[in-house]
Structure 1
Amino acid sequence: MLLTITTPKTRFKINLRLTIISVLTKALFLLSVFAVHSANAELAEMSPSQPVIQFSTSDAKWVHQPRFDSRHIRNLEGNCDPEEPCKLKRAEMKFLLIVNQEGKVANITVLKSSGSDKIDSEFMRELRRSLLKPFRKDSKTVVGKVTVPIIFEYY
C-alpha cells in the first residue's frame, strides 16, 4: 500500500501544472487547425480554378484610369539644360496585365520596355493603382489578361 501525503501547497502546484498542460494542449490544437486551414487556403489560391482569359485592349474599360503625366518623367530623368532647349522624347512600352475578378491589377509583365527601368517601374506603379471594370464571359466575372500599349511623349 502506497501512502501519499499531499499538502495544500503541493495540490496547488499539481493543479497549476495540469491547468497549464491543458491550456497548452488546447493552444496546440487550435494552431494545428489554423495551420491546416492556411495550407488549404494556399492550395486553393495556387490551384488554377479558373483559366486566365485573354481580352483585347478595346475590352479594357477603366474605372480608375492610370494617370500618366510629365511629373513622373521629370522626377526620373531630371530637368532640361537651361542653355539648350528641351527635345521631345518618346517612350514606347507594352505591358501585360492580369486583372482579377474585382478589376484590380494582380500582376504586370513588361512586354516591351521603354529602355529605362526607372520609367518602366514608374508606369507599372501607376498601372497597379488603377482599376478596371471586371472582365466578363458568359455573364460571369473572370480573371483576364490584357495587353496595354503606352506611347508617352515628354520634354
Structure 2
Amino acid sequence: MSSTELDAPPIRSILLAIITVVGLHLLTAFALVTIKTPTIKPEPETETPPVEIQFVTLPTKSAAPKAEVLPQEVSVQKPAQPTVEPQPTTPPKAETLPKQRVKTPIEPVVKKKVPEAVPVIATEQNAPDSSQKPLPEQAVPKKISPEPIVDTSAADERRKEAAAQAKKAAQDAEAKAAEIEKAKLKEAELKAVKAAQEARSIANAKAAAQAKAARDAAEAAARAKAEAEAAAAAQSNEPVSFTASAANWASAPNFSFPERAARRARSGDTLNVVLVLRVNKQGGIDSVSVAQSSGNSLLDREAQRQVRSGKFKPFTKNGVPVVGNVTLPISYAVP
C-alpha cells in the first residue's frame, strides 16, 4: 500500500463533512427566509378636548353720585387666538414591495385665518372681576410624527443573497465530492491495472524460471548420465567399435607397395587389405589383425607393419577417452 492511501482521509468522513456544511447553509437560508418583517403599529390618535368658553355677566351697581370722569388709560387686550384643531390624518399603510422604497405622504396642516382682534376699552362695566376663575389654558395640539419608512428591499436582497450563497456552496460541495470520487476511482483503476501487470510479470518470470530449472535439470541429468557412462566405460576398458571415417590420425602412416610382394603380383593390379586395429585411450595402436586378406601374405604382413608406425587421436565417448576397435581398409596398387 502506498503512502498516499495512508495519508488521505476516508471517503465517509469527507462526505460527512460536506453534508454537515450543506445542512448548515440550508438552515441559515431557511431562518433568513422565515424571519418576518417587523410592522410598526401607528400611535393611537389623541383627541384634543374642546375649549369651553363661559360667558359671565357682571353685576349692575347702584346709582352713585356723579363724579368727574377722569380720563383713564385705555388698555387694549388682545384676545387669545383660538387654535384650529388639526384634522386627524391617518397615513396609509406602506405596502411591502420588492426592491421599491415606499414613502408615506404627509398631508400639510392648513391654518385657518383668524379674524383680527377688536380693541376693547376697559371700563368699570366690563372690567374683569377678580372673583372670576381664569380660563384654562388651551391645549396645544401635539405634532403627529410621520410613521418611519421601513425599507424591506434590503432584507429581501439579503435573504436572496444568503439563499444563493447556500445554493452555490451546496453545488460547490457536490462538485468537489464528485471530483474526489472520480479521482479515487481513477486511482483505483490505475492501481488495479498496475497490480495485474505486476502479477503477469511475476507469473511470466516464475514460468521462465521453472522452464529454465527444468532445462538445467535435464541437462544436468544428461551430463550425469554421460559422465556415469564415461566413468563406467573408462573403468571397464571395454573397446568401442568405430568406423574408419570416425578415426582421425594424429600422425598418418606411409603405405607403400613392398618390392618383395611385387614378384607375386601382376603390374597394374590393385590389392585390398582390411585390418582391425585396437587403439588405446592415448591413441596408440596396441594390436593389428587382418580381417580380410589381399591374397598376398607378404603384402598382408607389410600392411600390418606399416600401420603400426601411425598414431590416432584418442577416441572419446561422452567426452571420456575410451578403447576403440577401428576397421581400416587399405588399397595397394601394384607398380
TM-score (norm 1): 0.60
Q: How does 1:6-155 map to 2 (within 5 A)?
A: 49-70=236-257, 73-78=258-263, 87-155=267-335
Give the structure with the higher percent strand: 1
Larger radius of gyration: 2
Equivalent position amino acid for 1:123 in 2: A
Aligned to 1:23: none
Unpaired segments ≥5 residues, structure 2:
1-234
Q: How many residues align?
A: 101
Distance in 1 between the 2:307 and 2:273 partners?
12
Percent identity for Structure 1 against Structure 2: 30
Q: Which has the higher contact order (CA 8 A, sep 6+)?
A: 1
Unpaired segments ≥5 residues, structure 1:
1-47, 81-85
Extract structure 1 runs of 4+ deviating beyond 6 A.
Answer: none
Aligned to 1:14: none
Equivalent position amino acid for 2:237 in 1: Q
Distance in 1 between the 2:276 and 2:264 partners?
30
* Cα pair 2:277 2:328 within 8 Å, conserved: yes
Distance in 2 between the 1:128 and 1:98 partners?
11
RMSD: 2.0
Distance in 1 between the 2:270 and 2:242 partners?
27
Question: Any idea what SS the aligned residue of 2:306 has?
Answer: helix
Q: Give the C-alpha shift of residue 79 in structure 1.
A: 9.9
Equivalent position amino acid for 1:110 in 2: V
Flag the 1:66–1:95 CA change in 2: closer, same or farther, 3 A. same
Question: Any idea what SS the aligned residue of 1:129 has?
Answer: coil
TM-score (norm 2): 0.29
Q: Give the C-alpha shift of residue 125 in structure 1.
A: 0.5
Equivalent position amino acid for 2:282 in 1: E
Question: Any idea what SS the aligned residue of 1:102 has?
Answer: coil
Question: Any idea what SS the aligned residue of 2:270 has?
Answer: strand
Equivalent position amino acid for 2:261 in 1: L
Q: Give the C-alpha shift of residue 78 in structure 1.
A: 4.2
Distance in 1 between the 2:294 and 2:272 partners?
5
Task: Render the CA deviation track for 1:95-152: whole Å, top value 9, x for unaligned.
Answer: 1111001111111110100111111111100111110001000101110001001111
